[in-house]
Amino acid sequence: MADKNFNAFQMAQTQFDNAADILSLDEPTRQLLREPLREYHFSIPVKMDDGTTKIFKGFRVQHNDASGPCKGGIRFHPQETVDTVKALAMWMTWKCAVVGIPLGGGKGGVICDPHNLSMREQEQICRGWVRQMARNVGPLNDVPAPDVMTSAQHMLWMLDEFETIKGAKYPGFITGKPVGLGGSLGRTEATGYGVVFTLREALKQLKIRPEDTTASIQGFGNVSQYALQLYTMLGGKVICVSCWDQKDKKAYSFRKKSGITFEELISITDKFGGIDKTKASKLGYEILDAEAWIEQDVDILIPAALENQVRADNAVKISNKVKIIAEGANGPTTPEADKIIKEKGIFLIPDFLANAGGVTCSYFEQVQSNMNYFWEKDEVLSKLDYIMTAAFNAVNELAKERNLYMRDAAYIISIRRVAQACKDRGWT
Amino acid sequence: MSPNTKNIHSLVHELEERAKELNCIYSIEDYLNDPVLLAEEKYIAVVNAIPGGFQFPEITRVRIVAGSRSYESENFSESRIFIKSDISVNDTEYGSITVYYTKETPQLDEGPFLKEEKKLLSSIADRLRNFIRHEESKTILHNLKEIKDISEEESEGSWRIVIEMLNKTDPVLYKTILRKLLHHLCWNDIKEAIDFLTSTSSETKTTEEKNPLEENKPIKRKILDTREYEETILSMTGKYMKDDEIIEKIQKWITDDKISNLVKAVENYNTSLQVISEILRKHYKIALEKNEVSTSIDKGLRVSLLRRFFTEQIDYITTAKEHVDLEDFYDLIDRIIFTPESHGKLGGKSAGLFLASNILKKSIKGNPLLKNVKVPKTWYIPSDGIIQFLQYNNLEEVIEQKYKEIEEIRREYHHIIQIFKNSSFPPEMVKGLSVALDDLGDKPLIVRSSSLLEDQVGAAFSGKYKSLFIANTGTKAERLNALMDAIAEVYASTFSPDPIEYRAERGLLDFHEEMGIMIQQVVGERIGDYFFPSFAGVAFSNNEFRWSPRIKREDGLIRMVAGLGTRAVDRLSDDYPVLIAPGQPNLRVNITFEDILRYSPQKIDVINLGRNEFQTMDAAELLGEIGEAYPGINNIISLAQENHLVTPIGFVHEDFHDDVVITFEGLVKNTEFIKRVNLILKILQEKTGAPVDIEFASDGIDFYMLQCRPQSKTRETAPDPSPRDIPADRILFSANKYISNGKVPEITHVVYVDPGSYYELESREELLDVGRAIGRLNKLLPKRQFILMGPGRWGSRGDIKLGVNVTYSDINNTAMLIEVARKKGNYVPDLSFGTHFFQDLVEASIRYLPLYPDDNGNAFNELFLMRSENIFKELMPEFPELGKVVKVIDVPKVKDGMILRVLVNADFDEAVAFFSVPSLTPERNYEESGVTETRPADHWKWRFKMAEQIARQVNPSLYGIKGMYVLGSTKNATAGPGSDIDLLVHIGHYGDRIEELKLWLEGWSLCLSEMNYIRTGYKTSGLLDVHFVTDADITNKTSWAAKINAVTDAAKPLQMKNP
């Protein structure tokens, strides 16, 4: 394939190189961190339902474990390339490092299309994957999690196979398990709450009281629902929420200038985060265009839907009143929009940091599983608060100190942490 | 008194009389069906009920003579003013009803009696005849039991008792048997018999022929009287034959005798269905022991019966005769509502169900899976019922409705519905329906049409006529009225514009359309106020929507939902049924937790018995309300726990409401349901020789089959022709793998994402831009007239190099989604089969096609795609760099007015797309449920006129309107009966006035929708789809604004008042 093709791993490396330049990282550390520590490629033979045997290709990439066991999902994907998996493993390293949890980065997968597989066949793939990898993974080496096309069910099959091979119970081997089978409480709230914990700290920095702020949120899935809940609990007022309308196949913004409460909005929302337009009208919501959420005269914008939602064309419409953008979604802002946001002097909490509540909660799941003792939800969430606050402050301080854009600061801090761990261990 | 009021008075009087008559019939019905009353008490009650049905009850007296008994009404006295109706049973006069007036009354139709009263009386006599027969059969059964008891004790001589019984029940047959016994003895060279025969034969024969009915009267004979004659034969028989032999002979003769009558009757086209049924019934009663009839008579008879009751279609008869027995007809005739003259047939639906249910019944042996397969109780009205209904109400001129202009038919259709609903049914039908209701009980019913044309053209006709649910609650009279109301409405749908238009287009107008009716019990259970089955759906032998290459076409397809099956039968725009391939039940469409949730059914159709209506309910709401009482709940739902779905074990706990998802996981995993459906489909396909399409429902315990027809008759999935003679230079592409049937409209635009250039894009941003550009094109290009062709997997999310990153809303207007798998080295990428939005494609009838251009034998005209004029840049100036990746080709423009035609044929596993002249036959609209044929001229012209009206009437200066445009199907002249009207309003800016304008347009929208309903019978919630664009939008060419002055498919400006 031609070199100039889009390649996720090359992109991740370029990103790393830029940060490494800023950090003036030495060559051996650069070389170490530019590539994964270990890569496993293996074959998984599976007896199919029709009696034939098919061989599936499996991967596991352990990018870096200087800070602790690798952590990262297992993807089922029909045309998985090792380059994608390598890039994702590297990003996992930085993601764990930015919140300062003692885990490294990993990622794995199997080339397959679950649409063409029965559940039994998928179970065989999961068990086959573990049989091949059992000696190289485990609660103390590498901890898998659900990812594209894999779910709690797949994790339980893998856990069961692992425990069978090891002849003992190791609930900390894998995360993403259901509550009651080694899962953690608070997972549903974690990401949304995490966004607001960092938002709260950002407001503190800007010396604004949450009670005096208004916000507009894009999306009404898990993240935005709990962000809305916690933010209003802090005294803030959400006046606009946009959401996808499955029936009309388009999004709408729902505005209520007097303020939206979590309970009210959730009462007219279906389980996919779709808001009932008629009921909303009755409750006094204005129903506006999909893009209206970004144009509101608010202090805070929380894009918490999909990637590439804040673009050059709509970033110009952001009100001058907006002071903070907290990225609840993954990659909601395009590079062009980033420039506009910088020019406008808006304080940005990058996705990397803002939505790290999820990975932090996975870490908690693993900790609880390892000691086989499970916390109450409040305990999970208060520990989450502690970690998110600390992470925000570290990034923010670096940004101020070095006059860096928050996005760059977050990236640099995580690379520095990993590099430091490698050095401390005497690797480079 | 003016003549006018006099007329009204007499009218009111007439109506009162009619009501009295009906009331009288109902109360008689009630008495006769009363399980408590003794037969005698019933007669007395009936005698006293009759006067109420006549004009002057106070002077009306009644006498019923039944056999040796007679019953008289209160204060009975005879008079010379009377009418009389005889009651004959089994061809003998059994009794009579006489109605007397004790005083003189004015002379009317027939003496002092009304025509209707005469009719009433004969209906009552008829009803009594049935009653008497029923009572008699009870006695016979009782007697037979006694015989059985006796013969168990002492078998010797028991044949005498049988013969005696025969003498009592069927004297004619008795005579015949005696004669046959005599002949038998003669053939066996019994001298005594031969002598006796010669001495008597001539004499008795002639007497018999002369007056066969007067057997019991003594006739003087030369030698012997009847009794002696009979005794002689009987004693000879006893002397020369063994008991067993006699019994066996008698049995055979009885059967043969009856059969011969039946054969004669059935083959005579003048015999009415009712007569055939009666003979059949008689035959069956006596031929209790089967397998006695010779096979050739039997087969011939079955063929004739099939022809008389169902269809002349040779295919059907050939198949059906192998699978149905006389016995099956016997079961059938008891559930047919005849009028005496009926010569009609039961129609296509009934024929399909009759055949399928009998095939399955006979396959139970060796297939324990079929044990719980049932057919709900069904009653039938033959096809000429509608004619009798029309004649009875003097509505014959309605038949000529079909020759009127379609516009006129449209206008008049809702009047016809009203007229039909206010007409009455002939008394025989009322009576029949009343009996049917007693048999069907008070479960809700569905009244289905079973048309004869369905047989003729198969095809799209199935969906044309109405099927109506009725709650069937209230008093008997209320229930009967509701039932008649529903039948009238179904009858009226014969004259609705849609099917007439369809027939006109195919030259079928002169075909004499008659419509049979099926009245079927709705499967289900009452829970609270709601009535519904646990689940229901449709299943097909051939799967035309395959979501994985591992699913073979023969693996079939089930579409199922919780509650009534209506939501599975129709394509839904706002909900999804669960799809399962019964041959590969483990390969599911939706894999991830999110997709399973997103595409799970959200609504349930039920019958609300409290409100007497059909109702669509929110699934979560209904399940929350009735919870565990829902039949078979554990087989239907899964519980979403965080990101994990579990099938409930044992009981469902109280946190029931939010996390319940309809998945049918329990049904698939823990029951034999899938195996059963698969087996049923296989058996039916094998025995009928063609793939089938069945409708089913389950009450949570049993499997009910509701309908069965050949799948090829479902218009939408019929294979296209697969022409071999298309010149190579006309072909754009061809395919020969994973082809599914489905109609593709004529294509005017091709959107092609070139795989090579796509893979070469350098940044993720550019790759994402391709998806965005497709989303915009989707809005710009004419709906369902373009195809999307792209590399690999449409809708890729993570690794978007595998395919263009789009969501369903970015492609929802395409006619066909094509995935191109180009070989890379020696590796061909896997295609997605549309799985990222599979169920959306299915519900919108967007076809999917995988292309393997590098496979042997496949054509792929890459040159055309790459070198033809590409209008992408003009359409999408905002993506200047993507012109080399995305090609948009206006086919008529580059091909001299030709369009692209895509033909698919799954039977041959072939598809081909080629350039061709646009067809002159009307373009069809495939969006609506089922397949709706339209004459676009009417639909778009009317819409266009209305759009012009709106534009002329709006006040541009008041609202700041700068221009109005029409676009989409109305502009493109492709609008169907259910299409909306797309209006584009160009305004200066969004101001307060716009809300007013929106309101004004909303008013128009609702009115137009209502008008459209009257015109076409299509219900929509508003007909206008209004889009507002501002100056800024036009400058930026954002979304709809790009349509104004567009390069292709531009919006058409409408004339307005001068601003």
The number of helix segments (H) and strand segments (E) in chain B equals: 36, 33
Q: What is the pLDDT of residue B901?
A: 92
Q: Mark which residues 12-41 of A lie under 8 Å from B by CB.
A: none
Nearest C-alpha in B relative to A269: B658
Measured from the Cβ of residue B357, the count of other Cβ atoms closer than 10 Å reads 21
DSSP B545-578: S-SSTTS-GGG-EEEEEEBSTHHHHS--SS---E
CB of B552 within 8 Å of any CB in chain A? no
Q: Is A167 left (phi over 0), alpha (psi -120 to 50) or beta?
A: left
> Is residue B638 within 8 Å of residue B663, measured between CB atoms?
yes
**Does B768 contact A308 at a Cβ distance shorter than 8 Å?**
yes
What span, in angstroms and rounded, lies between the C-alpha atoms of B448 and B469? 9
CB of B762 within 8 Å of any CB in chain A? yes
Q: What is the pLDDT of residue A230?
A: 96
**Does A75 contact B802 at a Cβ distance shorter than 8 Å?**
no
Provide the edge-to-edge strand list for the sheet that holds B637-641: B644-646, B637-641, B660-662
The two most distant CA atoms of chain A are separated, in Å, by 67
Please state the three-class secondary structure of A296-310 as a single string: CCCCEEEECCCCCCE
> Is residue B210 within 8 Å of residue B287, measured between CB atoms?
no
> Options 1.10.150.530, 1.10.10.10, 3.40.50.300, 3.30.450.40; which CATH number does B16-138 get?
3.30.450.40
**Does A151 contact B593 at a Cβ distance shorter than 8 Å?**
yes
Q: What is the pLDDT of residue A198?
A: 97
| Both tokens assigned to A415 | 């690379």
Q: What is the mean pLDDT of each run of 10 residues along chain A (428 residues)?
A: 62 90 94 96 95 95 96 87 89 94 95 90 96 96 92 95 96 94 93 96 95 94 92 95 81 93 89 85 91 94 87 91 93 87 94 92 96 96 97 96 92 95 94
- What residues in A contact B833, CB-CB < 8 Å? 115
Which positions ≥6 away from A67 have C-beta within 8 Å? A96, A97, A101, A102, A103, A104, A417, A418, A421
CA-wise closest residue to B619 among B522, B524, B532 = B532
Q: What is the pLDDT of residue A134?
A: 96
What span, in angstroms and rounded, lies between the C-alpha atoms of B669 and B51? 64
CB of B663 within 8 Å of any CB in chain A? no
Exposed, middle or buried by CB within 10 Å (0-12, 13-18, 19+), for B531?
A: buried
Q: What is the pLDDT of residue B286?
A: 53
Measured from the Cβ of residue B297, the count of other Cβ atoms closer than 10 Å reads 15
**Does B761 contact A114 at a Cβ distance shorter than 8 Å?**
no
Q: Mark which residues 300-339 of A lie under 8 Å from B by CB.
A: 308, 334-335
What span, in angstroms and rounded, lies between the C-alpha atoms of B495 and B325? 36
- What residues in A contact B761, CB-CB < 8 Å? 5-6
Smallest CA–CA distance, residue B652 to chain A, in Å, is 17
Domain positions in chain A are: 38-173, 187-354
Q: Give the amino acid at B991.
A: G
**Does B801 contact A148 at a Cβ distance shorter than 8 Å?**
no
Q: What is the pLDDT of residue B259?
A: 67
Q: Is the dihedral of CA B385, B389, B391, B395 positive or negative?
A: negative
Which DSSP symbol is given to B829?
P
Beta strands A104-111 and A70-77: pairing type?
A: parallel
Assess whether the region B373-522 and the region B936-1054 belong to the same CATH fold: no
| Both tokens assigned to B85 | 């109706």
What span, in angstroms and rounded, lies between the C-alpha atoms of A315 and A313? 6
Q: In this structure, which topology does domain B532-714 adopt according to CATH?
A: D-amino Acid Aminotransferase; Chain A, domain 1 (3.30.470)
Low-confidence ranges of chain B (pLDDT < 50): 1-3, 202-215, 217-223, 288-289, 291, 459-460, 921-936, 1059
Q: What is the pLDDT of residue B653?
A: 59
Domain positions in chain B are: 16-138, 243-334, 373-522, 532-714, 719-916, 936-1054
- What residues in B contact A120, CB-CB < 8 Å? 586
Smallest CA–CA distance, residue A339 to chain B, in Å, is 16
Nearest C-alpha in B relative to A82: B799
Size of interface A-B (CB pairs under 8 A): 104
The domain over range B936-1054 is classified in CATH as 3.30.390 = no
CATH class in words for B373-522: alpha beta
The two most distant CA atoms of chain B are separated, in Å, by 119
CB of A206 within 8 Å of any CB in chain B? no
The angle subtended at Cα A349 by Cα A347 and Cα A355, nearest 5°, is 165
Q: Is the dihedral of CA B309, B310, B313, B317 positive or negative?
A: negative
Q: Mark which residues 333-352 of A lie under 8 Å from B by CB.
A: 334-335
Say whether pTM exceeds 0.80.
no
E-state strands within B573-643: 578-580, 603-608, 613-618, 637-641
**Does A6 contact B768 at a Cβ distance shorter than 8 Å?**
no
What span, in angstroms and rounded, lies between the C-alpha atoms of B738 and B848? 10
CA-wise closest residue to B26 among B120, B111, B116 = B120
Exposed, middle or buried by CB within 10 Å (0-12, 13-18, 19+), for B896?
A: exposed
Q: What is the pLDDT of residue B8?
A: 67
CB of B848 within 8 Å of any CB in chain A? no
Residue A245 φ/ψ, nearest 5 degrees: -105, 110
**Does B759 contact A113 at a Cβ distance shorter than 8 Å?**
no
Q: What is the pLDDT of residue B117?
A: 82
**Does B760 contact A152 at a Cβ distance shorter than 8 Å?**
no
Pick B644's closest partner by Cβ from A78, A120, A152.
A152
CA-wise closest residue to B931 among B771, B748, B745 = B745
Q: What is the pLDDT of residue B212?
A: 46
Tell me if residue A107 is catalytic: yes
> Is residue A147 within 8 Å of residue A75, measured between CB atoms?
yes
Beta strands B373-374 and B92-101: pairing type?
A: unpaired
What's the CATH number for A38-173? Answer: 3.40.50.10860
- CATH architecture classification, A187-354: 3-Layer(aba) Sandwich (3.40)
CB of A119 within 8 Å of any CB in chain B? yes
Pick A6's closest partner by Cβ from B761, B798, B832.
B761
